[in-house]
Amino acid sequence: MSIISRLNARFAGATTADSPDMQTRDIGGHFRNNQPYISGYFQIIFGLPDALFKGQAAGAAKWLHSTCEGFTPHTQNINKVDIQGQGQIGSSFAASVTTTREFTTTFREYQQMPILNVIRTWASVFDPFTGVSPLGGTSSKFIPQNYKGWAAVIQTKPVKSGENQKLVEADIEECYIYQGVFPTTIPVDTASASDITGNETVQLSATWSFDGSPLTSAEDGVMSKCISLLDNQLGSDAFAATNGAYGTFEKYLQAGNTVGNPSKG
């Protein structure tokens, strides 16, 4: 299966609904069976290197997941070769594709700065005082699996799946799996900037490097893999109200009905 067939199958599935009116570009009316893409609904899962987090990788990943408020994926560009003709007439030919191999996220910071500490811990592959890595070279610890991780992002529709509220593939607009992930910015200036003329909450922006090209929904099995990764991090009942477990709405409702008893939330 080539990239053409993968993307063509993805495109064919996306064009089964009404397209906008060709003359007016209007998409309104109760008779329509299409819906514009609504951004802002997404889940993000991080896999952190255990060597740097010393047994705290799972807790740190949950902090990143629960505080992430923004995600901007990578970009790709087609590179061209220009051939000049006589009289300044020229032609362009496709030559290659370049992936930026970076994505960015924004996080809401909390007391004792857990997000900044997570990013600084991940970046502690280099010691700022000595300029070298604390990962031992003689013991072959300075290797990618000890300082690189992975990230998966699921961009969803603002919908609920079925009666059990469990996330399924039909809920997903797009998804990405990045490998070889590590932070390239440490937002100390944003987190620690203070001014007595204003008191505000802080949003931290982080840029992440990754290797290769990410997997997307065009590849078979990527959607189901992302759902599995989300279930592993949050628990398989995170979105479902089954077997006596509270789903997202049930947790919200339960917390509202038990004010003063946070253990019920």
Query: Which pLDDT belongs to residue 124?
Result: 92
Co-location of 197 and 210 in the same domain: yes
Co-location of 207 and 247 in the same domain: no
25 domain-assigned: no
The per-residue pLDDT for range 116-156, each reduced to its tens digit, is 999 999 999 998 898 888 887 777 889 999 999 999 999 99
The per-residue pLDDT for range 88-119, each reduced to its tens digit, is 999 999 999 999 999 999 999 999 999 999 99
| CA angle at 40 for the pair 35 and 238, rounded to the nearest 5° | 100
Mean pLDDT of the chain: 88
Co-location of 260 and 196 in the same domain: no
Query: Which pLDDT belongs to residue 264?
Result: 44
Q: Is the separation of the CB atoms in 220 and 138 below 8 Å?
A: no
Q: Tell me the pTM.
A: 0.86
88 domain-assigned: no
Total structural domains in the chain? 2
Co-location of 70 and 142 in the same domain: yes
**Which residue shows structure tokens 């603002």?**
158
Contacts 24+ apart (CB under 8 A), 254-259: none
Co-location of 151 and 265 in the same domain: no
Residue 56: is its pLDDT beyond 90?
A: yes
Closest by CA position to 184, among listed 203, 209, 205:
209
174 domain-assigned: yes
Query: Which pLDDT belongs to residue 236?
Result: 67
Query: Which pLDDT belongs to residue 45?
Result: 95
The per-residue pLDDT for range 197-243, each reduced to its tens digit, is 888 899 999 999 999 999 999 999 999 999 999 988 877 666 766 55
Co-location of 256 and 225 in the same domain: no
48 domain-assigned: yes
Closest by CA position to 226, among listed 143, 161, 148, 169:
169
Co-location of 242 and 217 in the same domain: no
83 domain-assigned: no
More confident call, 255 vs 164: 255
Report the 10 Å Cβ neighbour count for 17: 10
Query: Which pLDDT belongs to residue 265?
Result: 39
Question: Which residues constitute the domain of residue 243?
Answer: 236-265
